[in-house]
Amino acid sequence: MVDMTLCKKLAQAVGAGESPLVPKIFEALVNDDEAKVMLLASPPATSEELAQKSGLSGDAIAAMMDSLFQRGLIFKATKGGEKKFYRVKSIPQMHDSTSLTPGISRHVLDLWKEYMEKEWPSYGHMIMDFLPGSIMRVVPVNKSIEPQSQILAYDDVVKIVGDAKTLSVTNCSCRVISGNCKKPLEVCMQVDRAAEYNIERGTGRALSKSEAVEILKKCREEGLVHVVDNRQTVGHVICNCCKDCCLNWAVMKGSKKWVSPSRFAADIDNSLCTGCEACVDRCFFDALFLNIDVVAVDAEKCLGCGVCTVVCPTEALKLKEVRSADFVPV
């Protein structure tokens, strides 16, 4: 049995000190020695420093760091030729890294599923209270953007892929944890440093840019929403989210602070709309509704993802630019 006092300290270290479930997740993932060393790995430390602090041999620490890295509990960084290790820092990071570990038990995944259902919404809202701005941002299906709109590099998911140096794809951690989502599984893409991390761990496979574009096309057809880091420069991830089991949507519920909208919004040509409601069924955010005999848009709810436009049989739906270029942080 793992000392639960150590597991509770680790839960506190990732910001979940009051959680009854996160200590149980740690209990299922580490032994006593690993828990003690993880608590020592903040701030980042070399293997020699960890050996000295823990009293374990250098060989034991080296083997432990490799094992914890493979399990998504320890990360590493090299600066000035010196490699340092640091423990997982937050619940979202731990959720993604541990759930994709090859051979992870269903017991651990079920604990994560219970956590997502019972604790994550309140934890996510607590994080939002301290955020200066949104962490993530919707990127639109840009083939549906009005021709006169200005499409910038950070508005175009294909351009983001094109600018990446390294790409990888993993299974979607949220769908892995859910266990019963019917949407495509291997669609979560990583860019540059995050891609290198997943390739090294073996949790992701390297992608060519053409393969990445094909995955994006599949996601568009499936009605998945592209979500990226909320900044103008190339970020770390391209999530392709569904509304049923995604970590991002669990804390949204009307708030746009966790995930920022794109710079666009749905716009309907009433002369072309037949009121078939295909777009209403496709919308994640309940932003579309039938108004007498044509569809209307609730501007407060629309995040400008464009997945509705893909299924419109008369091309009555387009995306129009509604926010300026500086809406996206530098």
pLDDT digits (tens, 9 = 90+) for 81-106: 899 999 999 998 999 899 999 999 99
Q: For residue 18, name the pLDDT band (cuts at 50, 70, 90).
A: very high
- Convert the pLDDT of each residue in 208-230 to its tens digit: 999 999 999 999 999 999 999 88
> Is residue 108 predicted with pLDDT exceeding 80?
yes
Is residue 69 within 8 Å of residue 109, measured between CB atoms?
no
Cα dihedral 168, 87, 21, 97 in deg (nearest 10):
10
- Convert the pLDDT of each residue in 194-212 to its tens digit: 999 999 999 999 999 999 9
Six-digit token string for 170:
């993993």
> Is residue 179 predicted with pLDDT exceeding 90?
no
Per CATH, which fold does 4-128 belong to? Arc Repressor Mutant, subunit A (1.10.10)
Where along the chain do the CATH 1.10.10.10 domains lie? 4-128
> Is residue 47 predicted with pLDDT exceeding 70?
yes
Q: Find the helix packing angle between 32-40 and 47-54, rounded to 10°.
A: 120
The pLDDT value recorded for residue 255 is 54
The pLDDT value recorded for residue 250 is 63
